[in-house]
Amino acid sequence: MSTEVLVFDILAVVAVIAALGVILARNPVHSAVALIVTFINLAAIFVMLHAEFLAAVQLLVYTGAVTVLIVFVIFLVKVDDLPEFYGGNPVQRIFALLIGLALLGEVAAAILTRSAIGASDIWTAEAIADAGGNAEVIGQVLYSEYVLAIQITAVLLLVGTVAALVLARPASATLPDRVKRTGLISLAHPRGADREVAAALPAGLEASRRGETSGVRFDDRGVILVDNAEAFTDQTAWGGDRLEGDD
Partner 1 sequence: MEELTATHFLLLSAALFIIGMMGVLTRRNVIVIFMSVELMINGVNVALIGFAWEQNSMVGQSFALFVIAVAAAESIVGLGIIMALQRRIDTIDVADVRQLRE
Nearer to partner 1, 64 or 215 (CB): 64
**76 near partner 1, judged by CB under 8 A:** yes
Pick between residue 35 and residue 201 the one whose CB is nearest to partner 1. 35
Distances (CA, A) of 9 to 14, 55, 67, 152: 8, 18, 25, 37
Restricting to residues 77-136, name those near partner 1 by CB under 8 A.
77-78, 82-86, 93, 96-97, 100, 103-104, 107-108, 111-112, 114, 117-124, 127, 134
Residues 186-245 that bind partner 1 (CB under 8 A): none
CA distances from 40 to 19, 27, 194 (A): 12, 21, 50
How far apart, in whole angstroms, are the C-alpha atoms of residue 127 and residue 121? Answer: 10
| DSSP letter for each residue of 173-209 | GPPPTTSEE-S---SSS-TTHHHHHHHTS-HHHHHHH
Nearest distance from C-beta of residue 195 to partner 1, angstroms? 30
- Alpha-carbon distance of 67 to 71, in angstroms, equals 6
CB atoms within 10 A of CB 225: 20
Contacting partner 1 (CB under 8 A), which of 40, 44, 151, 164?
164
Pick between residue 13 and residue 229 the one whose CB is nearest to partner 1: 13
CB of 118 or CB of 190, closer to partner 1: 118
Size of residue set near partner 1 by CB under 8 A: 87
Report the chain's terminal Cα–Cα distance, integer Å: 85
Return the residue of 37, 62, 206, 227 that touches partner 1, per CB under 8 A.
Answer: 62
- Smallest distance, partner 1 to C-beta of residue 245, A: 42
Backbone torsions φ then ψ of 246, nearest 5 degrees: -65, -30
